[in-house]
Amino acid sequence: MKDSSMRGRGRPLNPVLTQRKIAGAAVSLIQSGGYRALTMAALARQLGVSASALYNHVGSKRDIMILVQDRVNQEIDCSAFDAQDWDVALERWARSYREVYARNIPLIPVMAVLPVANSPHTLAMYEKVAAGLTRAGWPRSWVVNTIVAVESLVFGSAYDAVAPDNIFDPGELSEAAPMFSAAVAHRDLSLDSRRRSPGPHGAGAETAASPADVAFDVGLRSLLAGFRVHLDALRAQEPGITSGGSDLE
Amino acid sequence: MKDSSMRGRGRPLNPVLTQRKIAGAAVSLIQSGGYRALTMAALARQLGVSASALYNHVGSKRDIMILVQDRVNQEIDCSAFDAQDWDVALERWARSYREVYARNIPLIPVMAVLPVANSPHTLAMYEKVAAGLTRAGWPRSWVVNTIVAVESLVFGSAYDAVAPDNIFDPGELSEAAPMFSAAVAHRDLSLDSRRRSPGPHGAGAETAASPADVAFDVGLRSLLAGFRVHLDALRAQEPGITSGGSDLE
């Protein structure tokens, strides 16, 4: 990726065009028109600059996506890893992560497969997660797979967060699927209030639980309970591992 | 959706154009060019028919997507619910589900939010899952949230299955993320062989484990372990619930 210090000699510095502004404009384009709406020409138009001025800062669409990745991931709150037990921190991180990508659905197919190299804020986030898990006694070899498992649930759940509430309505075929139809009709839509922490933005950010919120809650709590089972099994084998203050079940 | 019996009076039956063929051609278009490549005109061309002949069978792109959903979901193997314990069956279903969508990545953003109404095979699949869980003693109110949690992990993991293997390589910034870099370098890439059942297609379908396979394995086994924890807790409250033969931990 070209740095502003690398631009051609003698070209005037355009004070308007920063990597942050480029990333912001790219996010806007993708949010309104999907990933294909992001072209160098459209981005230059959105920024009110010439295409050549844009190429002065970024060499390709891939460079732009790395800027976008880093800008979007910066919104994910991973601060709980500084002070909380690993499972509380992992849960808060996952909730914030889903919330950010539910607002950025068209980015998911790209971000889910984009390498993290050259993304300083993204790496800072992963460093915080990795450090928190390692401090809590997680084997180093488990850390990346744990992160991937949480992210996979998060990306899938972000889609569900924007699905229509009637997505499982069997319609005219309900008689052909009686057990499923009964399960849909009796779906648990209550969110355990103890799990609804106000989150990083304070109580004001709390919204009513949707079916997708409840399903994500079930999935995330189950995943965390499973992680505890595996960590406990490991500790039983190797009692020297300390918990780092986590109160595991 | 128009049925062939509903086509206009006097029009000749085109024996070539079935809903199954339309769905197959639509899947091909999406696989090669993404969701946007699917237009009624392109689909008619792919099928070698006129657009009006196509409109005789399907009224809109949404109708086509429902056909596509039903055709793709038909490939997912949910037969284990007939004979296996709920957790074994849920695991096999999830593995098959991921395998099918890892081959159909461009469909995920659409399928993850498409209502299931009017999709007979999709509903038959959900019926099998719902019946299996209910028989095993799952509360009816938990069934849909369990399905959504598994599907969310599956969709996210399908993306990871097509991500480059070096996706977490921190590149030149590794010094700024030492704990994460160490975790990436020491990532566990071994798949517990006991978990690698030959699957519905026999031992021949088994392939070498990729980093994504291992991460999915960790996520899925953890999710299932968490489900067992919640079901055990419920049974402790209500001892009358039978296990339906599952050997829960």
pLDDT tens, residue by residue, B16-73: 789 999 999 999 999 888 888 899 999 999 999 999 999 999 989 989 999 999 999 9
State the DSSP string of B71-96: HHHTTS--GGGGTS-HHHHHHHHHHH
Residues A148-155 have a mean pLDDT of 98
**Residues in CB range of A9: below 8 A, 6 or more apart:** none
- pLDDT value at position B6? 47
Q: Hey, is the C-beta of B172 within 8 angstroms of any chain A C-beta?
A: yes
Residues B107-117 have a mean pLDDT of 94
CB < 8 Å from A in window 30-59 of B:
34, 36
pLDDT in tens, A4-51: 444 445 554 555 789 999 999 999 999 888 888 899 999 999 999 999
- Helix H or strand E encompassing A95: helix A86-102
Instruction: Note whether A144 contacts B183, CB cutoff 8 Å.
Output: yes
Q: Hey, is the C-beta of B221 within 8 angstroms of any chain A C-beta?
A: yes
Q: How far is A185 from chain B (nearest CA, A)?
A: 8
Q: How confident is the model at residue A207 (pLDDT cuts 50, 70, 90)?
A: low
pLDDT in tens, B124-174: 999 999 999 999 999 999 999 999 999 999 999 999 999 998 999 998 989
Mean pLDDT in chain A? 86
Q: How far apart are CA A50 and CA A55, in angstroms?
A: 9
Instruction: Note whether A140 contacts B169, CB cutoff 8 Å.
Output: no
The 3-state DSSP class for residue A165 equals: coil
Q: How confident is the model at residue B2 (pLDDT cuts 50, 70, 90)?
A: very low
Q: How far is B162 from chain A (nearest CA, A)?
A: 7
Decide if B141 contacts B81 (C-beta within 8 A).
Answer: no
Mean pLDDT in chain B? 86
pLDDT in tens, A98-141: 999 999 999 999 999 999 998 999 999 999 999 999 999 999 99
- For an interface test with A, give the residue of B119, B179, B192, B231 to mutate (most A CBs within 10 A): B179
Decide if A51 contacts A37 (C-beta within 8 A).
Answer: no
Q: Hey, is the C-beta of B112 within 8 angstroms of any chain A C-beta?
A: yes
The ipTM assigned to this model is 0.86
- pLDDT value at position A203? 44
How many percent of chain B have pLDDT more than 90? Answer: 71
- pLDDT value at position B235? 86
**Residues in CB range of A43: below 8 A, 6 or more apart:** A22, A25, A26, A29, A54, A64
| CA dihedral over A16, A17, A19, A21, signed as positive or negative | positive
How many percent of chain A have pLDDT more than 70? Answer: 83
Instruction: Note whether B183 contacts A143, CB cutoff 8 Å.
Output: yes
- pLDDT value at position B155? 98
Taking CA–CA distances from A37, the nearest residue in chain B reads: B36
Ranked by mean pLDDT, which of A106-120, A181-195, B4-18 comes out on top? A106-120
How many percent of chain B have pLDDT more than 70? Answer: 83
Q: How confident is the model at residue B207 (pLDDT cuts 50, 70, 90)?
A: low
- pLDDT value at position B230? 92
- pLDDT value at position B209? 82
- pLDDT value at position B196? 45
Decide if A76 contacts A119 (C-beta within 8 A).
Answer: no
Decide if B183 contacts A134 (C-beta within 8 A).
Answer: yes
